[in-house]
Amino acid sequence: MLFIMIDTAVSHSLTLKAVNLSPLRIPEIQRNPLAFLQHNAAKHGDFIHYPLGLWEVFQLNHPDLIEHVLVTNQRNYSKNTVQYNTLAKITGRGLLTSDGRFWRRQRRMIQPAFHRQRVLGWGQTMLNATQTMLDGWETAVQTNTPLDIDEEMMAVTLTIVGEALLGLDLQADANKLTHAVLAMLDYVVYRSQRPVPLPLAVPTPRNRRFREGLQLLDDLINQAIQDHEQGRGNPNTILSQMLTAVDHDNQKMSRSELRDEVITLLVAGHETAASGLTWLFYLLSQNPAVEDELLAEIDGVLNGRPPTTDDLPNLPTVQRVIAEALRLYPPAWVITRRAIEADTIFGAQIPANALIIMSPYTTQRHPAFWQKPDQFYPDHFLPEAEKARPRYAYFPFGGGARLCIGDQFAKVEMGLMGTAVLQKYRLQLLPNHPVIADPLVTIRPKHGLMMTIQRR
């Protein structure tokens, strides 16, 4: 099959290519999986088969292949992979990791809480949390002291998702909670890199931090559930909607199902949005011409008043820079599936149990579909450019039935926060600060993102 290139004419073949991979390369792959996936795509093309340890791996880099797995034949592809089984150690059987009938039941019960109108209802919470963060920056602004923007984003997105989910004022506890959630995410990364980990009962500092973090979250969630059940909770929270939702047998979720879903939403909705915002501020600091264009739009639309959710449709450049940041640094940089039964994809045999690897990071920099694959170029998202691309050239939120349930939440959050910050401040990278993309649970800057903040 041939595809029209946007600026240079290169054809792409969907023929499967088998690659021999020495097991000796596994440590190198673990050290830098993004470089490995990118290298494979550049060297071997769109559709690659290689052994990796015990697995038969199929790496899909072409949008049509990705569409097959995420949409066309999605029922044949489960989340029974190391990536999701490791996450399930934290989240239990939540939406992100569950499958089949149970997943469908849960998704149907939770989906209404993420209806766009409901998400827009969280706009003021998002703006209040942003304003509190900005107030906290005052001393750093006055003394020109750099702040770690990655840490700031982690704290504020946790506050926001915590409030929307549980209705708790997490402001005071945000740091403690961030550490708890980070300890757990650190544990997930550790587990995904060590096939045979030390048992949790062994009191290593990491294991201890993980257990304490999980306990803290458990306590918090149980308290919130109790408050709701006793009529003391905020009736608008996502939790309160989950507490009243019933399935088609008129059954409510059990306490442990609720707990798993709440932890899932905290984990899935926190670091992803933070990572997206962190890279957005980094990319803008490196591209002053784009930033100027963006500021002209924000100033023109808002004329100095604070943004609201009603402004978002009138800020197309804001939407394009966010989309472009999520293209270059998709927080969920890899998506895996397991083939349940054998399948045929574009003529190639996929055996049952094969491990499917799809990387938004790799495909979203695919030179056949992007005019400037490695540059920050928001015009990639002008309507005519979008129309010219296959649908799955861009999938930062996944796709098909398993599309991110929080995609609207994240877009509104990033739009409002980005606008509110940039309306008042210019963020500049500290000179010589090394910025290295580290593919953990999401892509994070390895040494944080130290930036100085000037009032505009």
**Cα 203 versus chain centre, distance:** 31
The nearest distance, CB 144 to ligand HEM, in angstroms, is: 30
Kindly tell me which of 21 and 110 has the beta carbon lying closer to ligand HEM. Answer: 110
**Alpha carbons within 13 A on the beta-carbon side of 297:** 22
Nearest residue (CB) to ligand HEM, 95 versus 422: 95
Kindly state the smallest distance separating residue 24's Cβ from ligand HEM, in Å.
29
Q: Which of 121, 398 has the CB closer to ligand HEM?
A: 398
> For ligand HEM, which is the closer residue by CB, 272 or 309?
272
Q: Which residue is nearest to ligand HEM (CB)?
A: 406
Distance of closest approach, residue 433 Cβ to ligand HEM, in angstroms? 23
Query: Which residues contact ligand HEM by CB under 6 A?
Result: 95-96, 107, 161, 264-265, 268-269, 272-273, 276, 331-332, 335, 396-398, 402, 404-406, 409-410
What residue has token string 């296959």?
Answer: 390
Report the residue number, 187 or 397, with the smaller CB distance to ligand HEM: 397
CA–CA distance from 411 to each of 2, 273, 307, 397, 455 (Å)?
33, 9, 15, 11, 25
Any idea what DSSP says for residue 454? E
Do the Cβ atoms of 331 and 407 come closer than 8 Å? no
SS3 string of 221-280? HHHHHHHHHCCCCCCCCHHHHHHHCECCCCCECCHHHHHHHHHHHHHHCCHHHHHHHHHH
CB nearer ligand HEM, residue 16 or residue 113 = 113
Residue with tokens 């926001």: 160
- Distance between CA 107 and CA 38 in Å, rounded? 33
Please report how close the Cβ of residue 397 comes to ligand HEM at its closest, in angstroms. 5
Residue with Cβ nearer ligand HEM (301 or 334): 334
Least CB distance to ligand HEM at residue 344 (A):
22
Question: From the CB of 369, what's the least distance to ligand HEM, in Å?
Answer: 18
Nearer to ligand HEM, 21 or 412 (CB): 412
Give least dist CB 308 to ligand HEM, A: 20
Q: Cα(156)–Cα(133) distance, rounded to whole angstroms?
A: 7
Residues in Cβ contact with 454 at an 8 Å cutoff, skipping those fewer than 6 apart: 141, 144, 425, 426, 428
CB of 61 to ligand HEM, least distance (A): 16
Question: DSSP secondary structure string, 343-387?
Answer: EEETTEEE-TTPEEEE-HHHHTT-TTT-SSTTS--GGGGSHHHHH
CB 212 within 8 A of CB 204: no
Q: Quick one: CA dihedral 161, 247, 405, 343, positive or negative?
A: positive
Closer residue to ligand HEM (CB): 12 or 228: 228
CA–CA separation, 54 vs 284, rounded Å? 42
Nearest approach in angstroms of CB 261 to ligand HEM is 8
Rounded Cα distance between 456 and 453, Å, is 9
- What does each C-alpha distance from 318 to 284, 293, 297, 417 come to in angstroms? 11, 10, 8, 11
Nearest residue (CB) to ligand HEM, 21 versus 404: 404
Query: Minimal distance in Å, beta carbon 290 to ligand HEM?
Result: 19
